């Protein structure tokens, strides 16, 4: 049986990601949780360009090239997967990269480990800012762009997480892959669960699921927020989806009621881990050999496990967990993991 619809015309894109990524069963985790769990392996989109951000960058950097840009500018936390992917993707296409990264003490920035090491290996320049200054991140990126222009360059600003309407096309494409994947499985109530930290992945999946007709097969999308709250992400996702519909004349309108945000699992805060979250990462790795990161995928999977403990029917009979990558962010947490190993 088929339920696939014609794909809409896509904006121009580069080929940076290794797609389509496999959809794999987690048999022992499924038995432990009492629901069928599959994982969409978007951690396998590449080695250095691993994770969900590269899908967005295919579209964003295509536009940067069309505009004649020679320098890309973006922002993130100190161990930002998006910043690392942007720095490496920029190097791959021959562009320079400037990063505006948040840290506790900009005067004493963290050591160049994990994602930061990859940032500087790729030649990115880093402007360290404080947590209070993060509220002005867009203005600070505009300052960086002005400096590039003043030096004779051509800047292109990529928003936090690559999360705008153009970047969301990366996860419209992923939703179409999932439609192909799930067409080979028996029909049953299914929820696609993903981590959300800036909203672009969620917007793409929600819009893509509708465009692919997944909702007609009993498939819905739920995001586990790893920062902020439900109201914030409902607003972000619906806003990005509205821009998608308007800019590309898509035959879908997404409203707030179409956005499922599973709130209550931010824990100690963004990029801060509790022992129980790290234990979930450990248990999944030991059960099925799947490695999650503590900032995004691990926190979201812990939210999934917690919700299922409260209500085994929360996500239907099948869960498709989108593994958005982030393995490099695991390494700075070695000391926190030590008591659990």
Q: What are the pLDDT digits (tens) for 137-188?
A: 999 999 999 999 999 999 999 999 999 999 999 999 999 999 999 999 999 9
Locate 328 and state its tokens: 């490099």
Residue-wise DSSP of 248-303? HT-S----GGG-EEE-S--TTSTT---HHHHHHHHHHHHHH-----TTTHHHHHHH
- Using DSSP's 3-state secondary structure scheme, residue 196 falls into strand
pLDDT in tens, 179-225: 999 999 999 999 999 999 999 999 999 999 999 999 999 999 999 99
Q: In the chain, what percentage of residues exceed pLDDT 90?
A: 97
- Tell me the mean pLDDT in the region 55-78: 98
SS3 337: helix
Fold (topology level) of 53-161: Rossmann fold (3.40.50)
Q: What is the Cα–Cα distance from 175 to 212, expressed in whole angstroms?
A: 7
Residue 7, pLDDT score: 82
- For residue 165, give both structure tokens: 């309407």
Task: In the chain, list all ranges with CATH 3.40.50.1100.
Answer: 23-50+163-340, 53-161
The arithmetic mean of pLDDT across residues 83-110, rounded, is 98
Question: Of the listed 80, 163, 198, 273, which one is catalytic?
Answer: 80
- The predicted model gives 230-248 an average pLDDT of 98
Q: pLDDT digits over 14-31, tens only?
A: 999 999 999 999 999 999
For domain 23-50+163-340, give the fold.
Rossmann fold (3.40.50)
Q: Would residue 163 show up in a list of annotated catalytic residues for this protein?
A: no
- Per-residue model confidence as pLDDT tens digits over 281-306: 999 999 999 999 999 999 999 999 99
pLDDT exceeds 60 at position 3: no
> What number is the average pLDDT over the span 84-90?
98
Select from 259, 244, 194 the least CA-distant residue to 59: 244
pLDDT at 1: 31
């Amino acid at each position: 049986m088929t339920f696939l619809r014609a794909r809409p015309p896509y904006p121009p894109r580069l080929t940076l990601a290794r797609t389509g990524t496999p959809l794999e069963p987690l048999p022992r985790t499924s038995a432990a949780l009492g629901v069928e769990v599959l994982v969409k392996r978007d951690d396998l989109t590449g080695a250095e360009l691993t994770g969900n951000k590269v899908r967005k960058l295919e579209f964003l950097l295509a536009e940067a090239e069309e505009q004649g840009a020679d320098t890309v500018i973006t922002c993130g936390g100190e161990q930002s997967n998006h910043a690392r992917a942007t720095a490496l993707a920029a190097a791959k296409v021959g562009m320079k990269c400037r990063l505006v990264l948040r840290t506790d003490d900009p005067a004493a920035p963290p050591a160049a480990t994990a994602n930061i090491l990859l940032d500087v290996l790729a030649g990115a320049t880093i402007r360290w800012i404080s947590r209070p200054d993060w509220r002005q991140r867009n203005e600070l990126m505009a300052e960086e762009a002005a400096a590039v222009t003043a030096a004779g360059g051509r800047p292109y600003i990529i928003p936090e997480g690559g999360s705008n309407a153009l970047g969301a096309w990366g996860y419209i494409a992923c939703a179409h892959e999932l439609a192909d994947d799930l067409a080979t499985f028996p029909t049953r109530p299914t929820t696609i669960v993903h981590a959300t930290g800036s909203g672009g992945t969620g917007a793409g999946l929600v819009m893509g699921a509708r465009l692919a007709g997944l909702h007609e097969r009993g498939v819905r999308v739920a995001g586990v927020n790893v920062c902020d709250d439900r109201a914030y992400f409902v607003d972000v996702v619906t806003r990005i989806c509205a821009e998608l519909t308007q800019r590309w004349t898509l035959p879908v309108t997404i409203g707030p009621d179409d956005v499922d945000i599973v709130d209550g699992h931010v824990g100690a805060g963004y990029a801060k881990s509790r022992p129980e979250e790290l234990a979930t990462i450990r248990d999944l790795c030991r059960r099925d050999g799947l490695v999650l990161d503590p900032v995004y995928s691990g926190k979201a999977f812990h939210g999934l496990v917690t919700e299922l403990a409260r209500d085994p029917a929360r996500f239907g009979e099948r869960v498709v967990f989108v593994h958005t990558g982030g393995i490099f962010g695991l390494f700075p947490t070695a000391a926190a993991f030590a008591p659990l190993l």
